[in-house]
Each structure stands twice: as structure tokens, then as C-alpha cells.
A = this chain, B = another copy of it.
Amino acid sequence: MMAVTIKDVAKQANVAPSTVSRVISDSPRISEKTKKKVRKVMEEMGYYINHNARNLVQKSTQTIGIVMKNSTSASLHDPFFPEVLRGISAYCNQQDFNISITTGESEEAIFNDVVKMVQGKRVDGLIVSYSKKDDKVVPYLVDSGIPFVVVGKPIGKANEIMSVDNDNVQAAKEATEYLIRLGHQKIGFISEQPDYEVSIARLTGYQQAMQLHQLKPDPNYVRHVDTKEPMKDMVEELVDNNKLPTGFVVTDDIAALNLLLCLREKNISVPEDVSIISFNNTIISKLATPPLTSIDTQIYQLGYESAKCLIDEIKTPSMFKKTVIIPTIIEERESCKKIVALAE
């Protein structure tokens, strides 16, 4: 079942292939009459453009690549990626762009996927969905010259790299101050992988808030914990040494869910005994028991805006690389409680 090409249409409509092409792109140099005629024939014959052919000559693909972080780890368990994907999708769909995602499992494999994408001209631009220390992808992209945007605060010279991000230090500061305002003084900070920029920024925000309010961030209280067991060990250690904070800032809903569980196992109730404020406001925070107060980072928007930046840049390259900041909103639910300062 041979597909119908532009030539077939041309023949059928008694015009030249070039005319058909111009009709497709709605060129003003073609009369309405011929346009109508040609379009009718296209319709009748069931013509669909062959993108490979078009892309070949136009040297563009109308597709953007998305590089995920190491997918073997939590990347895809975590509702973050899907949600940013959803935002990206939405804008791409509007603009008739396609999406191609990396499939690699290891960092090395992902890097190779990326160079294949750009060297093989499979994409017009990329979205890097994370920002991480010692990552090879971003440096490669900057000197490849291809348009790209990173979701998160890029490591290195920011003005050469487009990015869309939250103000994570501010957000974490607010989260911490929220707890402080409720009377908490012993506040813990839990994040997942410490080599991602988000973790660092949020830690900074936490520290700033603590300092600002003359609270010493006990080093015992800041932890990087990424799976179930370490979390369990941590709370056990903390309660056994009688050092359990009264509040926790947790950089991720999944980790918060985990914390909730571990606390429950030690018969510590939230929010009665300890308060928790988390990040991302995914469906998990809504449905946790109790529902979690969470900083909404507007992940969907993050995705949407990054796609917008990228596609803008692809369509009309600009001199300076902008960076857009998506505001965060604190969504209050039931995991935080005011405490009355007893001693101290």
C-alpha cells in the first residue's frame, strides 16, 4: 500500500509538485482557486506529508528531545517526571512538535542517547529535566550549539543557558519559616540525592531560615535519604537518642510518605508529635494520611514553560538566554501543627 506523495497529488490535480508544496505551506503566491483544487485532491487521495523528506531538506525535525535523569533510580517512580512531561506535552501539542525521550539507564547510556539525538539531527532542541553536579550532558549541549533548556538551576554560567526553575532557596526558606512560625525550633531537613541542584538549593534555604531565626541547624537533623531502609534507620536513631525534631522539611513527597510510615512504625503521630512540610504537592501529598502540607512547585508549569522557552528559541533564536522562575505556593493541609513552646 504505497503512500501517496506530493507528485501523485500534483499529477492528479494537473499542477506541478512545487505548487502542491506551496499549497501545503499556504504560500501567498498561489491563487485561492488552485489552492482549493489542490486541497480537494489531497483530501480525496488521503495525502499525508512525509516528515522525513521534509525534515531532510528543511534540516529541522519539529521534535524536541527530553533527557531524563537516570531512570533506574527513582526518576520514574516519582511523580515529578511524569508531571513535567505532561506540561511539556501540552505545549508541544499546541505547537505541533514531537517528543522524543532518552532511553538510557545509566548516565553513560543517557549521554550517548543525547549525542545520537543531536548529531543524528533527530531533534531541534532538548529539555534537560534535571540539574546535577558533574553532569556531562549540559556542557556537551552548550558547545554543540543546539538550543536547550534545563529544568532547574543550571550549574555553571547561567547566562549562557536557558532554564526554568523555582526559586528553591526561597521556597525552602519559606517552608522552614512556616514551621518556625508555628513555634518549631528543632527542625530537621531531609532530601534525597545530594548531588542534584534542587537538594542543594533547598538545603541552603533551610539553613538561611534557621540562621535568620537564631536556630542552630543541628547537623544531626540534615539528612540525605533515598530509600526506605535508611529512613527507618534514621528515625530509629533519632528517637533512640531522644533527638527527634518536632518538625521536618522534606524535599519530596515520596520521601515524606516514607517518613510518615517510619514515624508511624515508632508510634509517633503526625502532626501531633511531629510536623512535616514537603515539596511538590503531588497527588501523594493530597492522599497521604494525614494529607501533607506541601510546597507546590507547579511542576506542570515548569514543564510547560520549559517547552515554551525551547520552542521559542528554536523558532527565533535570541541573543540572550533567558531564565524563567515559576512561583511556588504553599498548600496547607494537615501535617503541621502549632506547638506551644514549653521549655527552652
Residues of chain B within 8 A of A145, CB atoms compared: 1
Residues of chain B within 8 A of A100, CB atoms compared: 63, 98-100
Interface string of A170-204 (1 = CB under 8 A from B): 00000000000000000000000000000000000
CB < 8 Å neighbour of A120 from B48, B74, B109 = B48
Using known A-B contacts A101-B101, A104-B93, determine if residue A257 contacts B228 with beta carbons closer than 8 Å: no
Interface string of A48-92 (1 = CB under 8 A from B): 111111011000010100000001001011010111011001101
Query: Interface residues of A, CB < 8 Å — how many?
Result: 60
CB < 8 Å neighbour of A93 from B51, B93, B105 = B105
CB < 8 Å neighbour of A77 from B48, B82, B121 = B82
Q: Across the interface, do A93 and B89 meet the contact criterion of CB distance under 8 Å? A: no
Query: Which single residue of chain B is at the shortest CB-CB distance from A255?
Result: B287
User: A220 at interface (Cβ–Cβ under 8 A)?
Assistant: no
- Which of A6-14, A151-159, A278-286, A319-327 lies at the interface with chain B? A278-286
Residues of chain B within 8 A of A52, CB atoms compared: 52, 55-56, 61, 121
Residues of chain B within 8 A of A137, CB atoms compared: none
Q: Chain B CB within 10 Å — which of A85, A92, A98, A258 has the most?
A: A98
Using known A-B contacts A228-B286, A254-B287, determine if residue A76 contacts B86 with beta carbons closer than 8 Å: yes
Q: Across the interface, do A261 and B103 meet the contact criterion of CB distance under 8 Å? A: no
Task: Give the interface of A toward B (CB within 8 A).
Answer: 1, 3, 48-53, 55-56, 61, 63, 71, 74, 76-77, 79, 81-83, 85-86, 89-90, 92-93, 97-105, 109, 113, 115-116, 119-122, 145, 228, 254, 257-258, 260-261, 264, 282-284, 286-291
